[in-house]
Amino acid sequence: MAAMKLTDEQRQAVDALSVAPEHAGESKLTVFRSLPARAKLTYFREHFLVPLLAAIIVIALATFMIVKAATPATRPKLYAAVIDSAITTTEAQQLQKDFSAKLGQSVNIDSYFDTSKDGLDKLQTMLSSKQIDVIIAPQSKFKQLAGYGYFRNLATSLNTTQRNSLKNDLVRLNGYDDADDDDPDVSGSGKGAAKPYGLSLAQAKTWNSFDGADSKALIGIAANTQNAGTAREFIDWLYR
């Protein structure tokens, strides 16, 4: 069979296809630099704009996450842990609203500490991170928590006026003694000296204005509170 002859136009098309592109093997940045000014904008949009926007978004998100992680959330001026339904959730919310209004700042009266479930673990975790300022609990549970060393000695934590006006409400309980810490089989819970770690709420007028409040409950100041002044102010408010 005779070979098919190409027309002039076909030969020109084949020659054009066989010629390497003008910028073959060159990087996009090199190509961009070599282009005339009017062509650069179009080339930039086609080859650089989308990757650049994606990089900006990734950097912005990473920066946001780093700043968020490094910046602690604003904590309330008072965090009160209410143990084992010493007051109902609805009444705790009202107590929170009322004291917040009085204080003019954010407070949290948290009644979600059920020690029959995970309430004790939650309490221990929050105490270790210094988030809790006061604890309100039924007598038996308060005694247990005092034995763990969770409260401040009110003989030194209350101001002089409070110690005088609330002296009949102070409750002495055994604290924690870690003298035998080296012995893993010996617990110091409840083996510490008896000190006034709690206040009976039986005469606390504001507290007992709520029908669901346990009048036999005790209140104490958390051992590592960072808002001792507000804790004292909250106690004054409960007894007014």
Q: What are the distances in angstroms from CA 166 to CA 36, 125, 201, 228, 229?
A: 87, 30, 10, 17, 17
- Reported pTM: 0.69
pLDDT digits (tens, 9 = 90+) for 107-137: 999 999 999 999 999 999 999 999 999 999 9
**Helix or strand run (H / E) with residue 172:** strand 170-174
Higher pLDDT, 181 or 27: 27
At 189-225, the pLDDT tens digits run 888 899 999 999 999 999 999 999 999 999 999 999 9
Helix (H) or strand (E) holding 128: helix 119-128
pLDDT score, position 37: 72
pLDDT digits (tens, 9 = 90+) for 71-111: 456 789 999 999 999 999 999 999 999 999 999 999 999 99
Would you kindly state where each structural domain of the chain is located, as residue ranges? 26-70, 78-239
Q: Which residues contact 49 (CB under 8 A, 6 or more apart)?
A: none
Confidence band of 13 (pLDDT split at 50, 70, 90): low
* Torsion angles phi and psi, residue 119, rounded to 5: -60, -40
Helix (H, G, I), strand (E, B) or coil at 56: helix
Q: What does each C-alpha distance from 130 to 134, 210, 221, 225 come to in angstroms?
A: 11, 28, 12, 6
The CATH classification number of 78-239 equals 3.40.190.10
| Residues 25, 195: Cα–Cα separation, whole Å | 83
